[in-house]
């Protein structure tokens, strides 16, 4: 399954949980999408819902994805 | 906060304290070196698209600083 990643572009009010310009892994969540939210694993290591507008999607080559996931 | 809490937070529970909070160094650096706790609870919330639902929410709290970074863990029903 294709892993999705995003870059945080906004973290106002969530400076502990999210770091601007950092890459985060997306966890699929159909319910969240309906409400224009996105589920990411944040700095706590747990997944939470955040507004889509806090992030921009990025494409990461598959070989790099595995290495990136191992650091998260 | 990207959602609004309507009414009381119910079933409040401390889920981590101090160094058992993985992001404790970030908490201390950004909000201050206090005795931090991470809590969870259930609340009725209004999302940014005006949907009202129940949700499990998590947040950080310390005496003298208050509650910070309410976030939604999951939408319930």
Chain A residue with CA closest to B22: the answer is A44
Please write the tens of the pLDDT for every residue from A5-39.
Answer: 999 999 999 999 999 999 999 999 988 989 999 99
* Beta carbons of B67 and B61 less than 8 angstroms apart: yes
**The pLDDT value given to residue B11:** 97
Please write the tens of the pLDDT for every residue from A41-62.
Answer: 999 999 999 999 999 999 988 8
Burial class (CB in 10 A: 0-12, 13-18, 19+), B76: exposed
**Is A30's Cβ below 8 Å from some Cβ in B?**
no
How many pairs of residues across A and B have Cβ atoms under 8 Å apart? Answer: 56
Question: Would you call B69 and A37 a contact, using CB atoms and an 8 Å cutoff?
Answer: no
Count of beta carbons in the 10 Å neighbourhood of residue A37: 24
Q: What is the pTM of this model?
A: 0.92
ipTM score: 0.93
How close is the nearest chain B Cα to the Cα of A54, in Å?
10
């Amino acid at each position: 399954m294709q892993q999705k990643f995003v870059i945080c572009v906004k973290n106002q009010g969530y400076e502990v949980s999210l770091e601007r310009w950092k890459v985060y892994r997306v966890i699929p969540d159909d319910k969240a999408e309906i409400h224009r939210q996105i589920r990411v694993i944040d700095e706590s290591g747990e997944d939470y819902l955040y507004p889509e507008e806090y992030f921009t999607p990025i494409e990461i080559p598959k070989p790099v994805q595995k290495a990136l996931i191992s650091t998260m | 906060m990207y959602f609004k809490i309507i009414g009381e937070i119910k079933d409040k529970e401390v889920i981590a304290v101090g160094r058992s909070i993985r992001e404790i160094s970030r908490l201390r650096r950004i909000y201050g070196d206090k005795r931090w706790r991470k809590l969870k609870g259930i609340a009725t919330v209004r999302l940014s698209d005006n949907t009202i639902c129940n949700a499990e929410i998590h947040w950080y709290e310390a005496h003298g600083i208050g509650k910070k970074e309410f976030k939604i863990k999951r939408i319930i029903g």
